[in-house]
Amino acid sequence: MQLTLGPVLYNWKPEAWRDFYFRIADEAPVDVVIVGEVVCSKRSPFLEPHIPAVVERLSNAGKTVLMGSLTLMSLPRERKAMLELAGDDQFTMEVNDLTCLGMLGGKPHAIGPFVNIYNEATAKYFASRGATRICLPPELPLSAIRAIARSLPEVTFEVFAFGRVPLAISARCYHARLNKLSKDNCRFVCEQDPDGLAVTTLDDEPFLAMNGVQTLSYTCASLLGDIDKLRDAGAGSLRLSPQQCDMVAVAQLFRDVIDGKLAASDSAAKLSAIYPLQQSNGFLFSKPGAAFITDSGDVRRIVPAA
């Protein structure tokens, strides 16, 4: 089973972003890395100068590098940028919106978690158009993952296994709105929340997280304890989504459980020590995504020790 490092979803400082990938290249036991800005095109120019060095370092370290497409595109410049990316033979694209599919003209590509592949018929259609890797939508239950993955053994199916879960995308920037700014004049306020801005209910219960035009879960998805089930269902890779924590240690933990060096039962507490955020895996079991379902079927919340 492979490990994939998903794209950084947040607005990180460009140098911190570059250094993060340098360390991933040098130390993290991941097989595939997706690079690029997929949430907000206004952030892209800051990362672009660093992309060649990041790609070179990751490639030299033996990682497969994919370039992620934007998730929601409406501006002409966004479509133009994607057209250039799709036409660049140096990179394989991870498509996050069907906008890019026509541009690729059947060239082999990957499909990201923001394209709706909910069943084997749809997966087969995309495979027939050149998709060789597909990261399934995070809300898919295990039964669906199994039905899809088993029907297409030639495609590598990936499951979102760590990180705040991307739940929605809008044309409206909520970070800007919160700061009484417009999206066009946002002053990049999302950079103040490199791990997402926690949104709680009126009862002070953590619920969601804001990231510009994107809304994520408050909880951190963790399928660390479900790896055997995922492997049995035919998942070929697990996606780790970068958060503000030691992602090398997170990747190592997943690697150790996959390789049988660490018991899954011991892993949740270890993960909490690295990233002390409430964990969730409810989507996998057709329960509310915010829930955490234990091996015995209990619904509970893993809250890190204070």
Binding site, annotated residues: 40, 173, 186, 190
1-9, 21-29, 50-58, 203-211 -> range binding another protein (CB under 8 A): 203-211
Q: Binders of another protein among 22-81, rule CB under 8 A? A: 71-74, 79
294 is a contact residue toward another protein (CB under 8 A): no
Window 151-180: residues binding another protein (CB under 8 A): 165, 167-174, 176-179
Site for another protein, residues 217 to 276, rule: CB under 8 A: 217
- Whether the CA torsion 137, 32, 84, 175 is positive or negative: it is positive
Q: Are 109 and 134 in contact (CB under 8 A)?
A: no
Measured between alpha carbons, how far is 19 from 16 in angstroms, rounded to an integer?
Answer: 5
Closest CB 224 distance from another protein, rounded Å: 19
Closer residue to another protein (CB): 89 or 184: 184
Verify binding: residue 300, another protein, rule CB under 8 A: no
Of 3, 302, 2, 287, give the one whose Cα is nearest residue 142. Answer: 287
Residue 36 or 282 with smaller CB distance to another protein: 282
Return the residue of 198, 245, 249, 262 that touches another protein, per CB under 8 A.
Answer: 198
Binding residues for [4Fe-4S] cluster: 40, 173, 186, 190
Classify 13 as helix, strand or coil: coil
Q: What angle do CA 111, 151, 141 make, to 5 degrees?
A: 70
CA distance 87 to 66: 14
Residue 199 binds another protein, judged by CB under 8 A: yes
Question: Are 5 and 33 a contacting pair, CB within 8 Å?
Answer: yes
Site string for another protein, 110-149 (x = CB under 8 A): ----x-xxxxxxxxxxx----------xxxx--xxxxxx-
Q: How far apart are CA 1 and CA 159, in angstroms?
A: 11
